[in-house]
Structure 1
Amino acid sequence: MIPQSQSKLELLKLLTTECIKFMKEIDIQHPQQIGIQNAYASTLNYLSKTEEASGGCHFISTMLYILLVEQGIECDIVVGEVEDYEKGIKFSHSWVEIEGAIYDPAIMHTLDGAVNPPVYYGICLTYEALEREYGVSDSRDELDRDAKQVLTKSVTVYLDEIAKHGFSKNYLWDEILKAGTGILGYTNLSRLRKKYHGHFRRLKTWNEEV
């Protein structure tokens, strides 16, 4: 059990360590399982050390997506409504899917201050039942403003727009490169920008609208 006296980042670090151990016990029957594990663990480790990542599902899903795609792993970056049955709420969210299975590290560090178990291969990385359903809306009209906006932007445009908020245009790219040390190696940022200019999120609804 995680001591409740710990700070949020300390809780996240402890949870990350335990979740990575559990993740490695799950056989996802994928030929690139090790690459998927490495990308997911790198994203969790970034989350556990970055207070500013709270509520940053659109960025965290983008990070995981790039770390996967750069290893040649086929996946989708997805946006949609999630229903949390335990809390009785719905919210707009971004995550990654590989062969239809949900990978959602960002749920671990939410804007409301909660610390939740991350989801890997559709499995809650604790021994709890997954109390959420992904893609529960009927259309994009049910998304919140931020989710509607990121849905229309390429990965490159989304990451570059951090410059509108007073940061360097490279800021989010650099965070991804830092998180992916050991996975990406030396990577030309111009190449990444050009490549991901053509990558967009997929909308997930009951009807699987694209």
Structure 2
Amino acid sequence: MNQSWLQRAEIASAPLPNGKRLFQAYAALLNFVRQNDWTGACHDSSASLYMILSEMGFAPKLVTGEVKAEAGIFDHSWVEVDGKVFDVAVGFPGEDGHHVGPSVFASLNLDTGEPTELKFGVRSPNGLDPIGQFVASSNLEQYSAAQPEGMTIWDLTPHIGAECGVKMRKADLRRKYGKLTRVLRGQADAN
């Protein structure tokens, strides 16, 4: 990631409703991911962004499904606000993931500022892998039970939120969002 990602995201935020606050949440997450080498964490980072944006008064959707890139199709989670994709993690794949491009803000490729080439919510012939199926079928409380102690979405989200001026407590987040399940995109014909 370079500074131009933040600059492009900030420019893209200007015409959006409450764009400045949206950018602040996204930038806090982007900086956290970069500073903590939080790669390959799409399910965690999207859940954190969803909770932060919800606490800010936005009406985001927490989404999971498959994404098509030039390198192939992969399971992934992201956030949508007013039909636009907000996806920090796609620019930071894990060790077993392929680099598919930069992070996405308001459906824009942050390297170019143009619409992302990634296709969110597609369906491959095989559908979601077992991890993707678990993520899609679990609420956030069930999902967090599989995370390492002290590194759950409930632990990390208050730290990220504090960076953009959103005060949250772990217990409150669990109570408010623990029963939330992700919107499953592009898998309607899955059995």
TM-score normalised over the length of structure 1? 0.79
Structure 2 residue 90 is the aligned partner of structure 1 residue 104: no
Match of 2:32 in 1: 46
Structure 2 residue 189 is the aligned partner of structure 1 residue 204: no
Following superposition, the deviation at residue 130 of structure 1 comes to: 2.5
Check conservation: 1:96, 1:102, Cα contact below 8 A. Answer: yes
Following superposition, the deviation at residue 131 of structure 1 comes to: 2.4
Question: Any gaps of 5 or more consecutive residues in structure 1?
Answer: 1-11
Match of 2:173 in 1: 192
Bigger Rg over Cα: 1
Please list the CA deviations of residues 132-180 of structure 1 after superposition, one character each: whole Å capped at 9, or x if unmatched. 11111179x6011111101111123322432xx4x23x64322211111
What SS class does the counterpart of residue 162 from structure 2 fall into? Answer: coil
Match of 1:156 in 2: 141
CA distance in structure 2 between the partners assigned to 1:123 and 1:185 by the alignment: 25
Following superposition, the deviation at residue 116 of structure 1 comes to: 3.1
Question: Residue 116 of structure 2: which of 118, 127, 130 is its match?
Answer: 130
Check conservation: 2:42, 2:78, Cα contact below 8 A. Answer: yes
Relative to structure 1, is the Cα distance of residues 177 and 43 closer, same or farther in structure 2, using a 3 angstrom cutoff?
A: same
Matches of residues 56-95 of structure 1 in structure 2 within 5 Å? 56-84=41-69, 86-87=70-71, 89-95=72-78
Amino acid at match of 2:130: R
Question: Residue 9 of structure 2: which of 1, 16, 23 is its match?
Answer: 23
What SS class does the counterpart of residue 25 from structure 1 fall into? Answer: helix
Relative to structure 1, is the Cα distance of residues 100 and 206 closer, same or farther in structure 2, using a 3 angstrom cutoff?
A: farther
Following superposition, the deviation at residue 184 of structure 1 comes to: 5.2
Relative to structure 1, is the Cα distance of residues 129 and 158 closer, same or farther in structure 2, using a 3 angstrom cutoff?
A: same
What SS class does the counterpart of residue 146 from structure 1 fall into? Answer: helix
TM-score normalised over the length of structure 2? 0.86
CA distance in structure 2 between the partners assigned to 1:208 and 1:101 by the alignment: 23
Amino acid at match of 2:170: L
Relative to structure 1, is the Cα distance of residues 129 and 73 closer, same or farther in structure 2, using a 3 angstrom cutoff?
A: closer
Matches of residues 9-20 of structure 1 in structure 2 within 5 Å? 12=1, 15=2, 17-20=3-6
What SS class does the counterpart of residue 79 from structure 1 fall into? Answer: strand
CA distance in structure 2 between the partners assigned to 1:192 and 1:91 by the alignment: 29
What SS class does the counterpart of residue 92 from structure 1 fall into? Answer: strand
Question: Any gaps of 5 or more consecutive residues in structure 2?
Answer: none
CA distance in structure 2 between the partners assigned to 1:43 and 1:82 by the alignment: 21
